[in-house]
Amino acid sequence: MRIGRVAERAGVSVRALRYYEEQGLVVPARGAGDQRDYDESDVERVKFIQLLYAAGLPSKAILHILPFLDTLVATPEMTRRLTEERDRIQVRLDDLTRARDRLDELIGLAGRYTESSTAECRPPRERASA
């Protein structure tokens, strides 16, 4: 499969695919004229790479995780890395959940204290200038 087709199906730019190749994250076969020739499995691999990037993993960390996808052989070091990354993501999720919950509280308060309702609660001097 050509690079443009993989990019389209994986939802990334051709430039991103080239970057992934430079980083060793994706290694396409080479066809006639040295053109990249991607497998169907590369589409899912690129989607997974994108997911890991979105979760905040740097390319070096991703590079250490990908061999497990290829071999399904996990060393103790690989298991430790996977666990550390999962735990780091969980901390981020917990922080984001707390931020979302606090915003929900503020949205609830905002519904009770709209401009029209707060104008009635202001002292007379402030109401006159408002």
Statement to judge: residues 105 and 129 lie in one domain:
yes
CA gap 39, 18 in Å, rounded: 15
Contact (CB, 8 A) for 2 and 35: yes
As a whole number, mean pLDDT of residues 3-25 equals: 94
Tokens standing for residue 113: 């204290």
- Residue 75: what pLDDT? 87
- Residue 96: what pLDDT? 95
CA gap 86, 84 in Å, rounded: 5
Residue 102 lies in a domain: yes
Residue 66 lies in a domain: no
**Averaged confidence pLDDT in the chain:** 87
Statement to judge: residues 89 and 124 lie in one domain:
yes
Statement to judge: residues 26 and 79 lie in one domain:
no
The CATH number for 13's domain is 1.10.1660.10
Statement to judge: residues 83 and 50 lie in one domain:
no
Statement to judge: residues 79 and 36 lie in one domain:
no
Residue 63 lies in a domain: no
pLDDT-derived band at 73, boundaries 50, 70, 90: confident
* Domain range enclosing 8: 1-58
Statement to judge: residues 130 and 78 lie in one domain:
yes
Q: Look at residue 92 and tell me whether its pLDDT is greater than 80.
A: yes
Q: Look at residue 130 and tell me whether its pLDDT is greater than 90.
A: no
CA gap 30, 105 in Å, rounded: 55
Residue 88 lies in a domain: yes
0.85 exceeded by pTM: no
Question: Residue type at 100?
Answer: R
- Residue 8: what pLDDT? 95
Q: How far is CA 19 from the centre of its chain?
A: 17
Residue 64 lies in a domain: no
Statement to judge: residues 79 and 52 lie in one domain:
no
